């Protein structure tokens, strides 16, 4: 499902125009992104939670040449599915 498909689904469920649904989706995604950028976690009860995790520096290998290389420390977003979402997917 792409963002346009999601906007169509939201517009049908909420009874709003597809353009308004797209703007709502963009606003929600912007809110999640800005909270994660600040280092906050997001918890959507029944759906899941997003949080920023720190990845430590490590040694890696170039799969083509086998040469060792250094992978720098970085931050990544981790999503953990909620109980209700896990049950629906099962």
CATH code at 66? Answer: 4.10.520.10
What gap in Å lies between CA 42 and CA 48, rounded to an integer?
A: 8
Q: 75 and 58 in one domain?
A: yes
pLDDT digits (tens, 9 = 90+) for 4-43: 999 999 999 999 999 999 999 999 999 999 999 999 999 9
3-class secondary structure, 63: coil
What pTM, to 2 d.p., does this model score?
0.78
Q: Are residues 22 and 52 in the same domain?
A: no
51: three-class secondary structure by DSSP: strand
The angle subtended at Cα 41 by Cα 81 and Cα 86, nearest 5°, is 5
Residues 64, 53, 74, 60, CA torsion sign: negative
The total of structural domains in the chain comes to: 2
Within this chain, do residues 46 and 85 fall inside the same structural domain, yes or no? yes
Band (pLDDT 50/70/90 cuts) for residue 59 is very high
pLDDT given for residue 18 in this prediction: 94
Q: 55 by DSSP, 3-state: which?
A: strand
Residues 61 and 35 in one domain: no
């Amino acid at each position: 499902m792409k963002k346009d498909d999601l906007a169509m689904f939201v517009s049908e469920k909420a009874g709003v125009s597809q353009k308004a649904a797209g703007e709502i989706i963009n606003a929600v995604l912007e809110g999640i992104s800005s909270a994660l950028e600040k280092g906050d976690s997001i918890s959507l009860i029944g759906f899941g939670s997003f949080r920023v995790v720190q990845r430590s520096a490590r040694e890696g290998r170039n799969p083509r040449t086998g040469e060792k290389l250094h992978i720098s420390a970085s931050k990544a977003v981790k999503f953990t599915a909620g109980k209700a979402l896990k049950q629906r997917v099962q």
